[in-house]
């Protein structure tokens, strides 16, 4: 069954005590929510403590990245097994900032998706075009290529654990949001790709989130579209009130 999801991507923000306070505040304020699954993805070093605070799993805990290796001599990397040992259930993979600043390719992201699913982590996989690609009318081709690359050799059983996030790069952190029509059009296109790669049922069940300057003032309109199942929220997820307000938009 398709779920409504609002996930917070904290990126590289907050120091440890501030982050823990924010987790507690979100947990407290989320009690009034219905009909939506909340996920928070703080930086790695917050996960262990956050996993204890969120141990009842009412709010899902996510990481922002993960290694493509199981274990061993990979200095500075964090493995899927390390994440699950802290109650982390989700992992954001292929965010445009990882693609742009750390040269992550669809091939690498595909490796990470496989190893994460093998280790019981649910990937939130990201796709999105840059402004020039949209202006050149290439956005559908770009998204199709990213989705095909990321889902290469992912089985029908494995896809059930995946959440897709459409994040037009030109809307991330810029204050520019895709219009409701642009979001719906692309989400429907993505659902069609999933239907062709797998089947109708899988496509109907997969949650597709919108990301890019989503905030309390525009979430309701974006989420009212039939193929928009929630949001991946950056800036606005750093304030408990805004994050909860967005989640109330369903």
Catalytic residues: 95, 167
Rule CB under 6 A: choose which of 234, 240, 243, 249 binds ligand PGA: 234
Residues in 7-66 at the binding interface with ligand PGA, rule: CB under 6 A: 9
Spatial distance between the Cα atoms of 168 and 55, rounded to a whole number of angstroms: 33
Per-residue DSSP letter, 77: -
Q: Apex CA 244: angle with CA 238 and CA 245, to 5°?
A: 105
CA torsion angle for 76, 80, 83, 85 (degrees, to 10)?
-120
Which residue, 113 or 236, is less far from ligand PGA as judged by CB? 236
String of contacts with ligand PGA for each residue 141-180, x by CB under 6 A: --------------------------x----xx-------
Q: Which is nearer to ligand PGA, 79 or 163 (CB)?
A: 163
Minimum distance between the CB of residue 23 and ligand PGA, rounded to whole angstroms? 18
Position among 154, 203, 232, 246 found at the interface with ligand PGA (CB under 6 A) = 232
Q: Say how far residue 11 (Cα) sits from the centre of its chain.
A: 12
Distance, in Å, from the CA atom of 91 to the CA atom of 93, rounded to the nearest integer, reads 6
Q: Which is nearer to ligand PGA, 7 or 113 (CB)?
A: 7
Q: Is 233 in the site for ligand PGA (CB under 6 A)?
A: yes
Distance, CA of 96 to CA of 11 (rounded, Å): 12
């Amino acid at each position: 069954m398709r779920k409504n999801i609002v996930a917070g991507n904290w990126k590289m923000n907050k120091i440890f005590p501030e982050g823990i306070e924010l987790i507690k505040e979100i947990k407290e304020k989320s009690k009034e929510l219905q009909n939506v699954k909340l996920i928070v993805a703080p930086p790695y070093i917050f996960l262990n403590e956050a996993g204890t605070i969120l141990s009842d799993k009412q709010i899902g805990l996510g990481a922002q990245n993960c290694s493509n290796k199981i274990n061993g001599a990979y200095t500075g990397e964090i493995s899927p097994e390390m994440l699950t040992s802290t109650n982390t259930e989700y992992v954001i993979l292929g965010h445009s900032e990882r693609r742009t600043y750390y040269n992550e390719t669809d091939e690498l992201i595909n490796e990470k998706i496989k190893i994460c699913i093998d280790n019981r982590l649910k990937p939130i996989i990201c796709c999105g075009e840059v402004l020039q690609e949209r202006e050149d009318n290439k956005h559908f081709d770009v998204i199709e290529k990213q989705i095909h690359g990321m889902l290469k050799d992912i089985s029908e059983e494995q896809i059930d654990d995946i959440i897709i996030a459409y994040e037009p790069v030109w809307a991330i952190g810029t204050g520019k949001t895709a219009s409701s029509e642009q979001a719906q059009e692309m989400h429907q296109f993505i659902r069609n790709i999933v239907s062709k790669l797998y089947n109708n049922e899988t496509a109907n069940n997969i949650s597709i989130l919108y990301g890019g300057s989503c905030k309390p003032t525009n979430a309701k309109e974006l989420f009212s579209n039939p193929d928009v199942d929630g949001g991946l929220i950056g800036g606005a997820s750093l304030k408990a009130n805004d994050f909860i307000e967005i989640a109330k938009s369903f």
